[in-house]
Amino acid sequence: MPTPPTVDLYEQAQQAVLHIRQRSSLQPIVGVVLGTGLGGFGRQVQHATAIPYAEIPHFPRSSIAGHPGNLLLGAVAGTPVAVLQGRAHLYEGHTVAEVTLPTRVLSLLGCKTLIVTNASGGINASFRAGDLVSIADHINLTGVNAAAGPNEPRFAAIPQAGQRFFDMGEAYSPRLRTLARQKAAEVGFDLPEGIYLAVLGPSFETPAEIRAFRSLGADLVGMSTVHEVIVARHMGLEVLGLSLVTNPAAGVSPEPIDHHEVLDIGRRAEGRLTELLTAILAACSAAPNPRRQP
């Protein structure tokens, strides 16, 4: 039997785009990834076309409660958006290429800005369950890097992107971090910043690991996000990361960590996250990303 021709990552992403284009002609400028328990923001998307991941070629499916698995195309506060309602994780057995394919697709659809959200454990004892934190930087301890493998310059969203080696010095855009803080203040709450450390999971951490992570400078711990941010920076997208602290990390409080608690805190904080994201997206339509090409 002849072996079927292998379809490379770029072609896979293009096949996904082709399918999406048959369902909606919307040109999104901002992509949003909604993390565990945070899918409710999807209700804000007006005139939404919802496409289940299961119908999109090569999209991974999440098996985890709290991850509905739809791509929504529509508008929020006048800004055309593509929203990934739920994500796949490495700990489910997906490869890093599979986990990041939807982010690659957001860029090919036209997004020049990516807003990633997630649930995290609070390592910094000043963070309480229910706090929203803007990610200032990350530490990737998952053991893999999403940009490893053959380099694919065709993913570049702006001329200087798509390089084999690329800078991660301002992975989380200072401009968008400032905007997010301003908008949070306008909506009526503080938005502190923190360093997000990513682990593979699915086990939560041991107290000894959390002590070690604190000494490395981490404020938050979670099992996602960094790979999406790495491929977004490879493509030249501007990135904002918002993390919802759903629990004190292991050993910070004596209570055991429970996934249902993560979901419950997510539901309770959804209102604030929705207000903040809507205010940020309104500003994106008013003042477009300066890096966007004409």
Name the one residue in this structure whose structure tokens are 């400028």.
29
Which tokens in the block code for residue 249? 């990390």
Contacts of 68 (CB under 8 A, 6+ apart): 39, 42, 85, 86
Q: How far apart are CA 64 and CA 90, in angstroms?
A: 12
**38 near ligand HPA, rule: CB under 6 A:** no
Which tokens in the block code for residue 168? 């991660």
Stretch that binds ligand HPA, among 116-124, 126-134, 148-156, 175-183 (CB under 6 A): 116-124
Tell the smallest beta-carbon distance from residue 261 to ligand HPA (Å): 8
**86 near ligand HPA, rule: CB under 6 A:** no
Instruction: Please tell me whether the peptide bond between 202 and the residue prior to it is cis, using omega within 30 degrees of 0.
Output: yes
* C-beta nearest to ligand HPA: residue: 121
Q: How far apart are CA 28 and CA 49, in angstroms?
A: 12
Among 31, 60, 80, 121, binds ligand HPA (CB under 6 A): 121
Q: How far apart are CA 8 and CA 151, in angstroms?
A: 11
Q: How far apart are CA 116 and CA 232, in angstroms?
A: 10
Among 24, 103, 124, 247, binds ligand HPA (CB under 6 A): 247
Among 120, 140, 225, 289, binds ligand HPA (CB under 6 A): 120
Among 34, 109, 237, 249, binds ligand HPA (CB under 6 A): 249
Tell the smallest beta-carbon distance from residue 88 to ligand HPA (Å): 15
Tell the smallest beta-carbon distance from residue 118 to ligand HPA (Å): 7
Binding site for ligand HPA (CB under 6 A): 119-121, 204-205, 221-223, 246-247, 249, 257, 262
